[in-house]
Structure 1
């Protein structure tokens, strides 16, 4: 599994999100009290950036129509979204955040 350094941990807002690119893949990095999570940054319902939404109660909310996605699983927790978004492995080492898009990358 290959991890790519994406940013210093301090760049991700506390209880917030930011957008990064891993190769050609848009990724939303989410920081919550539980840690750092990575999801595909494109909402499965309306194809807008999830990283621009609010983070609360273990979810990130799409700013356009209000669908929330579990930051651990990528599954929608309310409509109108019905399809999950991909999630990615994250590790934090020496103050930097690394993301892996999958086991074969």
Structure 2
């Protein structure tokens, strides 16, 4: 069963940045793109389970803080070694200044 949950306020995520969001034992990353859109992925790198919230956002890429692997946070696609497994992405919508995340 899928549900929409309130993850954060839009103002909580600076443009070209991300925040960590934990819910029901899982960690997510919420991103704010240069175009003002919001995206969500799994919160840990697929390479060594490091929290992505400590990484660097550059345009549409998140760089893992441990080994500098990169993902496109819009699609989850692994873009630079050592990461080779894509990140899981989650649907996001904005309602009344809040970022809503669809989870299973």
State TM-score, norm by structure 2.
Answer: 0.92
Please name the residue that 2:11 is paired with.
10
**Structure 1, unaligned runs of 5 or more:** none
Q: Distance in 1 between matches of 2:64 and 2:48?
A: 9
Cα pair 2:34 2:59 within 8 Å, conserved: no
Q: Which of 61, 65, 70 is matched with 1:59 structurally?
A: 61
**Structure 2, unaligned runs of 5 or more:** none
State TM-score, norm by structure 1.
Answer: 0.91
Cα pair 2:16 2:59 within 8 Å, conserved: no
Displacement of 1:13 after TM fit?
A: 1.8
Number of residues paired by the alignment? 102
Name the one with the larger strand percent.
Answer: 2
Which stretch of structure 1 is more off in the superposition, 17-26 or 89-98?
A: 17-26
Q: CA RMSD in A?
A: 1.1
